[in-house]
């Protein structure tokens, strides 16, 4: 549902308060990375994201590639056109200091990371059965995404949301400013996405669970040979385990 000019102006005024660390009535801060300020308006199902500079060169890069906010809007719209759920943008604009903001409708569901850690449940379904169903459905979803030519910029389990729908799972992607569309998708980019999804400890995600995901992903990737797929899967797992090990080191 589109918003009115009056509602858009109200949201802009809220953005001007949020950028000054003032919470307008009904808004709540959301934990985020150091390169963004995020808040939500639960009563209306809206999220605010302010894009903070990653480096002094960001403005120069924006002249060539567009700002991060502009890329997020473009990528959200492209994903939606291709049949993949993503946030629907309702308002955006400029802030003091050259920063920009984007206000989006919340996607349904919970982060996949929460499902896999047991923070979310599928109603009355047996938890083990639901977990296996989730992993297979997630693998098929990411496989279709990659086969279509999309590479997500940060495909951590927290950036994929899952909701129960008609006895199955429906997925949505958030934080799409670094998502790219390339056909065919580069192998190195596929590897990075698979590694990012593997960034859960063995206690949270067993090798058997990872294989359930991978087999469903592989079925969607018709252009990959069995050997290419096997190499990608194995190296993605090793890369993720190396990164997890480095994080645990003092």
Q: Are 187 and 221 in contact (CB under 8 A)?
A: no
Burial level of 232, CB count in 10 A (0-12/13-18/19+)?
A: buried
Q: Are 196 and 189 in contact (CB under 8 A)?
A: no
User: What would the pLDDT profile of 185-198 be if each residue is shown by its tens digit?
Assistant: 999 999 999 999 99
Distance between CA atoms of 212 and 233, rounded to whole angstroms? 12
Q: Are 76 and 86 in contact (CB under 8 A)?
A: yes
| pLDDT band (50, 70, 90) for residue 65 | confident
Whether 225 shows a pLDDT value over 90: the answer reads yes
pLDDT of the residue at 154: 95
pLDDT of the residue at 26: 97
Let me know if domain 110-248 sits in CATH 1.10.510.10: yes
Single pTM value for the model:
0.92
| Residue 94 C-beta-side C-alpha neighbours within 13 Å | 4
What are the extents of the domains in the chain? 5-105, 110-248
pLDDT of the residue at 113: 93
Tokens of 90: 């309702």
CATH numeric code, 5-105: 3.30.200.20
Q: Are 90 and 3 in contact (CB under 8 A)?
A: yes
User: What would the pLDDT profile of 127-180 be if each residue is shown by its tens digit?
Assistant: 888 999 999 999 999 999 999 999 999 999 999 999 999 889 999 999 999 999
Burial level of 12, CB count in 10 A (0-12/13-18/19+)?
A: middle
């Amino acid at each position: 549902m589109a918003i009115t000019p009056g509602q858009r102006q109200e949201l802009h005024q809220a953005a001007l308060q949020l950028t000054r660390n003032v919470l307008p009535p009904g808004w709540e801060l959301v934990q985020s990375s150091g390169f963004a300020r995020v808040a939500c308006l639960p009563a209306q199902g809206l999220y605010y994201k302010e894009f903070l500079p990653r480096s002094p060169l960001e403005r120069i890069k924006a002249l060539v590639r567009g700002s991060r906010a502009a890329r997020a809007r473009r990528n959200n719209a492209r994903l939606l056109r291709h049949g993949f759920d993503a946030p629907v943008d309702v308002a955006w604009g400029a802030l003091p200091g050259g920063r920009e903001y984007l206000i989006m409708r919340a996607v349904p569901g919970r982060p996949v990371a929460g499902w896999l850690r047991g923070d979310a449940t599928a109603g009355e379904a047996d938890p083990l059965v639901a977990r296996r169903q989730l992993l297979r459905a997630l693998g098929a979803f990411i496989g279709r995404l990659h086969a279509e030519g999309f590479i997500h910029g940060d495909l951590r389990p927290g950036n994929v949301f899952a909701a129960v729908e008609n006895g199955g799972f429906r997925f949505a992607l958030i934080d799409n400013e670094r998502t790219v569309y390339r056909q065919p998708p580069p192998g190195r980019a596929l590897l990075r996405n698979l590694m990012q999804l593997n960034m859960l400890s063995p206690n949270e995600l067993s090798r058997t669970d990872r294989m359930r995901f991978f087999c469903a992903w592989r079925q969607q990737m018709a252009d990959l040979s069995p050997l290419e797929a096997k190499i990608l899967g194995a190296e993605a797992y090793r890369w993720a385990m190396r990164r997890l090990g480095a994080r645990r080191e003092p």
